[in-house]
Amino acid sequence: MSPTSYQLLHPAMWVPLSLQSSHDLDQQRTANVHKLFACANSLTCFHKGKRTFGLPTSPPVTDNQPLPSSEIPDDHRAGFVNIVGSPNVGKSTLMNRLVGERLSIINAKAQTTRHRIMGIVNDDAYQIVYSDTPGVLDPAYKLQEGMMKFVKTALQDADVLLVVTEVNEEGMAHPETLEKIAAMDVPTFVLVNKIDLATDQTAVEAKLDAWAAKLPRASVVPISALHNFNVDTLLERIVAQLPQSPPFFPKDELTDKPMRFFVSEIVREKILTHYKQEIPYSCEVVVEAYEDAPDITRIRAEIHVARESQKHIVVGAQGRMIKRVGMDARKDIEAFLGKKVFLDLYVRVDKNWRDDERKLKRFGYID
């Protein structure tokens, strides 16, 4: 066996912390972090795997009829594995890595994820329904209140909880959420992400100990979602924690979201890439028309902004900025659909939409 994370991660690290003595725990963590730190610094041990991370080439299945009971093993496991954490700690990167598809958009800017996005991993013996959620925060307007409701729901229906932090984070951005997690009786893994960025081994050991103290019933694991470091080891541990259950979705289904959702997210990802300051956080993308012909798909999408001044910035001088966004988005949508796409973008001023309950309901942020 090559020196992948299976060898680098000591099995004892997965034992609930309450079952280990403090002396043994300190020795185990020290040994593990020595190995992890050496591997992370050299980058030679990162196991890339054979998964591809292109966009799905077929639309999500919408027929949620259960599988025939005769095809479901008696010991089949299924459950919701929900990912929570502060903004910009790598939750979406982890989600895409676990699912093996690029379902969640990724950007260096915080608060990239606004919705709860499900990605489904199927095997004959199990079905894992992963959920990526918005980063936890103190809401400043009704849009963010809706985003936090997605997090609240994810905590309520989790069979397994993945709490993502990163090596430079001192504590969760929303302490109340951390308190709720500490009080939950759900199998929990604290994933200390971005271990490849660490430069101080002692500080990493201290970080793991600090999270073990915050969530003493959880298993604390250093990972690098970007480099797939220690991520593959999660699968068998997650499956072991799932309850015995028939699948919740058909076995060929990848996600619960429709095609239009992913198209709008691709456009919004390009907005996050090409604009600065408040512009990305003031935009919402809505697919108004979607015409699927045999040789081409025609899409009309509206970019909603909160103020007239923002519209001018999004459009840009002589329409250059909106053209750049459209070109970049069209390429990714064509990869998503596997066919040619005609994308027509419009910009619309929708004053204070982030605090308008009627509009937020239309956009899917509140019930």
251-282 per-position pLDDT tens digit: 999 999 999 999 999 999 999 999 998 899 99
Pairing of strands 117-123, 126-132: antiparallel
Task: Looking at the structure, tell me whether residues 236 and 263 fall in a common domain.
Answer: no
Q: Region 344-348: what's the mean pLDDT?
A: 97
Same domain, 157 and 15: yes
The answer to whether residues 233 and 290 belong to one domain is: no
Host domain of residue 329? 259-363
Both 267 and 203 in one domain: the answer is no
CATH of the domain at 39: 3.40.50.300
Query: Which of 27-31, 103-107, 354-358 is predicted with the least confidence, judged by mean pLDDT?
Result: 27-31
Q: In angstroms, rounded to a whole number, what is the distance separating the alpha carbons of residues 305 and 270?
A: 15
Give residue 38's pLDDT band: very low, low, confident or very high (50, 70, 90).
low
| The pLDDT of residue 65 | 46
Q: To the nearest whole number, what is the mean pLDDT of the chain?
A: 84
pLDDT value at residue 203: 86
248, part of any domain: no
Domain count, the chain: 2
Looking at residue 218, its amino acid is: A
Q: E strands, 158-254, where?
A: 160-166, 188-193, 219-222
Q: Model pTM? A: 0.81
Average pLDDT on 174-185 reads 96
Environment class of 184 (CB within 10 Å of its CB; exposed 0-12, middle 13-18, buried 19+): middle
Q: For 274-300, how does the pLDDT look when each residue is reduced to its tens digit (9 = 90+)?
A: 999 889 999 999 999 999 999 999 999
Taking a C-beta distance cutoff of 8 angstroms, is the pair 60, 260 a contact?
Answer: no
Same domain, 51 and 123: yes
Secondary structure element (H or E) that encloses residue 337, with its range: helix 320-337
> Where does a domain end: 171, 206, 241?
241
Q: Are 8 and 45 in contact (CB under 8 A)?
A: yes
User: Rounded to whole angstroms, how far apart are CA atoms 157 and 198?
Assistant: 33
